Structure 1
């Protein structure tokens, strides 16, 4: 099943990713064909993690259309091993489980679609490429030599990592969710041997869709999940009785998300919005049930928490009020000092820690910005050195990308709305502008950072406006609730208000704007164009839903046990309103020309949505452009398809906007 990649093959790829690579420079006046293809490609390196002892690096690389692993000595920066699967298998998310071994999710590329699928299987391999073994999943059963008996049973289940550091028995803790149409069965917690895949049950989690956190010994201690009414439930495991006990709902907020058990095993750090609007950090104590607030920002919820290498304390919190910033909760830890110095070393950049050695002395640091794709560095605390490992997209070095700046404006009802403005480096008195709408809509938002689609638009000569409309995540519970049952009205009016603000500010020019987006962004493209027929010259709708009445019966949301409850809360059940908010019924109002793009294998927004929109446009005699992909799901995964899509966009926008 497995196949070793030759060191020469991987070394060839990696040599173009390390500092020896000399990139080609591109003109910034326009996106030429070569740059379009490069922007459409997958990153050459998607992740780098360091082993617990700090001696080796695992580098996830893209080779010949597939993900592979290369292992390097952290001191020598020389390859010591490599591994990839035979087609159609690929390497997904991976974890170092001890000093010599990595366990990864096994994904599969299906014959009829481009995007790999995870079926719950786990695979293990040593850093020298040896001892490759399918450890978990429906194909993991092994027969004993000379008998018909199986050494272990294959699991028809999905595995997720819970505690990935192997104990003295070489076991890690997994969440094993039995196969079902919606993944709504209660998961089993199992200890898995990382060498032979043998499993030991730790009982079942008390609720479906559970986020489980283990204590310092790797034993399951907290489970937080969603019930069929779309309400959060929290359970704590009594270490004396080994039984789960439900925490009363009055004791926590709607967004309760466990971070880590404290060093004394007597408490828990949590992200939550208990008795407040914005989500912050709390500490829950097991003995008396006390819930102590630690830190909450005034404007935005915490995006990420930074935890010490021993996972025993939170030392910093990331905020995304515009550009990323950090609040230090403790200056007593080594990690806090190091991370503070890293932020000073890369001022204004997005600094992320991908992994650390167990002793906290070696870190892998990922640095990016709005104008630069990620670069990976190795920080050595003993030597106080920072060494560049690799660029994630080395072929883009030397390209001058556009800057993105946070913006804020008042919506139609006075509500503050945040977003981002990217000014094209191609100067034009006509100020051609594209409003790029994010998906979701609830709990999702746009962030400041490097984005290949956004940069493609900017380098093609178009300014770009992004709007974190009401319903978006990160701005508090009330802000998110304001978007519920307002998909077709207030959310769209926020987008329209942002567009009118850009015109009033002189950033954009009336009559020379287009709108585009994927998923909910595609829905917004069409719906906003029906509400403001004269605002947008054109619109690009990718993988959208256009008839809200279909949501309850078509797509993968219906298979979730809480799917109906979610739709009732987010969209509502008023059929008249669903008709009013479904753009497929209002295309007669359109003056905006549309480009409709959809993948035929889409299960989130089934292809029937695009077909119904097409039929409605034909019936109303409205012009449009059609672009379908037989082998794509929800969006575009394949670089060839993405290149085709980008090139279609260049031609399309040039027809409808004045440069």
Structure 2
């Protein structure tokens, strides 16, 4: 493997400055939060140029690197003090790029209760987007979409690129939010002139076009942003026909019931990810939008949900089908592509996930590839398939020494009811003998999420500071088929809680974890699991950090149904017939018929049983789990004389996003100080 030394050196020195002279003993927590130093890279069709986003003190800077002249040119800046960021960049041609901005703005209610935007008042926030095209030197910039400050759109709608229209050199398809509902525009990238291709509703946020640029799939938000519906319309047809409604909370879905991927070869046909014909896992198919028929099966997997496709966007074919197994796995579907892909992944090794970002050069012979793993926070490579040379371009966080990062291994264990389960164990840096370690158990959120190989800010932050970290993939989580998800229904605090605890007990039994130095920490559903552990697993854990968790299941269900009338933006309030309310009553329990069960497994109703210190952390702009869930728990703990502390994150929502890096650094530092207080410090690097 050859190192592209000039470009790597150029980026390390010219972009981010020289590395520190002496390595620190531990990686700084800021290494795992906020913006990557370099991100969002893409390659021009001829392979000559690399465009990427560089984070500087002023904010995001869009830069273009010329591989032929070895020159680097900044072409656009998004000011951090204006709460702006660059969201993406794509090459439309060898001479022109498309890029998007977004700005975080306040949303308040005026005296008439209509929504308006301001940056002066503090009632909620959303992101407003803009899209531009320019030449590679930043000149000839043309606005393709500018938002109307009074458009009053729901927060989940934002301008986005639908299709680059690879066969049309002058136009793209763009989703454009409008006051009367989203529109699909065909926009000239040189003049900004546009024509309306289709009109959606107020809740439309996505279209998929076929090989001819005809919109044939449409995606709409339902239930106040907590679910969505897909509809189809074949070429020449007039009406949209609904295909499926997805029931699930924002960001908590498992394998797709139905999801459009992109155009297939024939008009009206698209690639989709779907769970069809009663199958347990989702697969990759060709779907005919005129008839609603699945006309070809490209990939299925009996154990994991197929969740992505590597596509040749120039020829509208699929190169590989991908899924999260133990690691990110892609199965080639193209005979010419397969030997190069297998050789590439073998060369890079099994400790990293490998993704093909885009291809360029003659016949697509130059591949832009990105990796990440436990000791790789993100690396871009250029792979020349003609010469079989693999060159490092840059690391996304080049100041971080990989030697200061933890390692990771897969742990298989048997639950107390006999079910075979597995999870990830993070081992602190320099530790070769994983024995008698202080342990933090970190259950994932969702709960229909899952943990994956080498990508978790909590786990890597805690492990880098000397703690072993265990992430169990417990029942109720997604990615393993629908039966595994439904095995967690009506099991909050019960079987799901036991699966987590059983994993920790296995680590004690195997000698990896010190039984007297174990804490639990989690966010969202993981926060609920941490709350519940304070009274259900008091024999196992010495402390608990509950982040953005649910402490009162009946109260949470009530909020989903009625919302908060004092909030301009509220994730609740969908009504008793709302699809998200029905989903949660099915997954958790009915607040009337099952009230005793729900209270039995709610921490706020069990404070007298709590016998461990509790740290609560929550963002006060959370619209997925209301901040009230943490407030009521703190009050109940104080009334009962139990040790508790609540950390309120100002202007912070539910999700781990780079623009909230300072808040997330606070989450990590507060948690680590809490662990140190109650189970002692992590092991020093290389201590065992």
Q: Please give the TM-score of this superposition, normalised by the length of structure 1.
A: 0.85
Bigger mean CA deviation after superposition, 225-234 or 41-50: 225-234
Q: Is the 8 A contact 1:192 1:200 kept in 2?
A: yes
Q: Could you say which residue in structure 2 is the equivalent of 1:558?
A: 572
Task: For residue 600 of structure 1, report the CA deviation from its aligned partner.
Answer: 2.3
**Cα 1:199–1:568 shift into 2, 3 Å:** farther
Task: Choose which of 268, 276, 279 in structure 1 pairs with 2:282.
Answer: 279
Task: Choose which of 574, 583, 588 in structure 2 pairs with 1:571.
Answer: 588
Unaligned runs of at least 5 residues, structure 1 = 1-10, 142-152, 180-184
Q: Could you say which residue in structure 1 is the equivalent of 2:629?
A: 609
Task: Choose which of 22, 46, 49 in structure 1 pairs with 2:39.
Answer: 46
Task: For residue 612 of structure 1, report the CA deviation from its aligned partner.
Answer: 1.0
CA-based RMSD: 3.4
**Correspondence list, 1:404-553, <5 A:** 404-424=408-428, 425-426=430-431, 430-442=436-448, 444-548=449-553, 549-550=555-556, 551-552=559-560, 553=563
Task: For residue 392 of structure 1, report the CA deviation from its aligned partner.
Answer: 0.6
**Correspondence list, 1:2-401, <5 A:** 14-16=11-13, 22=19, 24=21, 26=23, 31=26, 35-64=28-57, 66-86=59-79, 87-88=81-82, 89-110=84-105, 117-139=126-148, 158-165=158-165, 168=168, 170-178=170-178, 187-205=182-200, 208=203, 211-224=206-219, 234-246=230-242, 255-265=257-267, 267-275=269-277, 276-285=279-288, 289-310=293-314, 312-331=316-335, 333=336, 335-348=337-350, 349-357=352-360, 359-401=363-405
**Correspondence list, 1:599-638, <5 A:** 599-634=619-654, 637-638=659-660
Q: Could you say which residue in structure 2 is the equivalent of 1:149?
A: none
Task: For residue 524 of structure 1, report the CA deviation from its aligned partner.
Answer: 1.3
- Counterparts of 1:381 and 1:505, CA distance in 2: 45
Q: Counterpart of 1:485 in 2: which secondary structure?
A: coil
**Cα 1:366–1:499 shift into 2, 3 Å:** same
**Cα 1:648–1:195 shift into 2, 3 Å:** same
**Cα 1:24–1:448 shift into 2, 3 Å:** farther
**Cα 1:237–1:499 shift into 2, 3 Å:** same
Q: Is the 8 A contact 1:23 1:396 kept in 2?
A: no
Task: For residue 590 of structure 1, report the CA deviation from its aligned partner.
Answer: 1.1
Task: For residue 267 of structure 1, report the CA deviation from its aligned partner.
Answer: 3.4
Task: For residue 608 of structure 1, report the CA deviation from its aligned partner.
Answer: 1.8
**Cα 1:16–1:540 shift into 2, 3 Å:** farther
Q: Is the 8 A contact 1:226 1:562 kept in 2?
A: no
Bigger mean CA deviation after superposition, 234-243 or 391-400: 234-243
- Counterparts of 2:256 and 2:104, CA distance in 1: 37
- Counterparts of 1:602 and 1:41, CA distance in 2: 18
Task: For residue 541 of structure 1, report the CA deviation from its aligned partner.
Answer: 1.6
Q: Counterpart of 1:131 in 2: which secondary structure?
A: coil
Question: Size of the alignment, in residue pairs?
Answer: 622
- Counterparts of 1:481 and 1:311, CA distance in 2: 39
- Counterparts of 1:395 and 1:403, CA distance in 2: 18
Task: For residue 619 of structure 1, report the CA deviation from its aligned partner.
Answer: 0.8
Q: Could you say which residue in structure 2 is the equivalent of 1:580?
A: 600
**Cα 1:91–1:389 shift into 2, 3 Å:** same
**Cα 1:490–1:155 shift into 2, 3 Å:** closer
Q: Could you say which residue in structure 2 is the equivalent of 1:655?
A: 677
Q: Counterpart of 2:492 in 1: which secondary structure?
A: coil
Task: For residue 12 of structure 1, report the CA deviation from its aligned partner.
Answer: 11
Q: Is the 8 A contact 2:375 2:402 kept in 1?
A: no
Task: For residue 603 of structure 1, report the CA deviation from its aligned partner.
Answer: 2.6
- Counterparts of 1:384 and 1:377, CA distance in 2: 12
Bigger mean CA deviation after superposition, 468-477 or 60-69: 60-69
Unaligned runs of at least 5 residues, structure 2 = 1-7, 106-118, 246-254, 682-688
Task: For residue 389 of structure 1, report the CA deviation from its aligned partner.
Answer: 1.5
Q: Please give the TM-score of this superposition, normalised by the length of structure 2.
A: 0.81
Q: Counterpart of 1:613 in 2: which secondary structure?
A: helix
- Counterparts of 2:299 and 2:30, CA distance in 1: 44
**Cα 1:565–1:375 shift into 2, 3 Å:** same
**Cα 1:84–1:226 shift into 2, 3 Å:** closer
- Counterparts of 2:75 and 2:10, CA distance in 1: 12
Task: For residue 62 of structure 1, report the CA deviation from its aligned partner.
Answer: 0.8
- Counterparts of 2:306 and 2:14, CA distance in 1: 33
Bigger mean CA deviation after superposition, 611-620 or 207-216: 207-216
Q: Counterpart of 2:314 in 1: which secondary structure?
A: coil
